[in-house]
Amino acid sequence: MAEKETKTAEVKPLAEEKVVTEAKAKLLNYGVTPRKVRLVIDLVRGKDLDTAYAILENCSKMCAKDIEKLIKSAEANAVNNFKMDRDSLYIAEITANDAMRLKRILPRAKGSASGLVKRWSHVFVTLKTKEAK
């Protein structure tokens, strides 16, 4: 009779976990034009979180609340998902791009009509950790 060979499973060491240094969040199909959103996001680009929240709190634009909410979402992703230190986070990138456009017709004089384009935007934010020097 032939003897059966048994195979032993080799235990491989786990690969080192990658250190994540950035967290992202996005706001898609936001009903404000990119030009209006850029006025707000230019104020907070490159700032740390506490400074950015203070700026957005005192901003009179309507979209400032939604941008603040988006940054808080990216902060929650960084802290909860990637175990990053909140105090070392800053806004590395924040952009507003053109999204879909709603095309409508605006009635004009003498039975004519003209076009009306309602623009929406996509907003993306990336938080990174400051390098300890």
pLDDT (tens, 9 = 90+) of the chain, 133 residues, equals: 556 665 555 656 655 667 778 999 999 999 999 999 999 999 999 999 999 999 999 999 999 999 999 999 999 999 999 999 999 999 999 999 999 999 999 999 999 999 999 999 999 999 999 874 4
pLDDT reported for residue 133: 40
pLDDT reported for residue 131: 77
pLDDT reported for residue 9: 57
44 and 95 in contact (C-beta within 8 Å)? no
pTM here? Answer: 0.81
Domains of the chain in sequence order: 24-129 (3.90.470.10)
pLDDT reported for residue 20: 77
Dist. CA 33–CA 106, nearest whole Å: 19
Burial of 20 (0-12, 13-18, 19+ CB in 10 A): middle
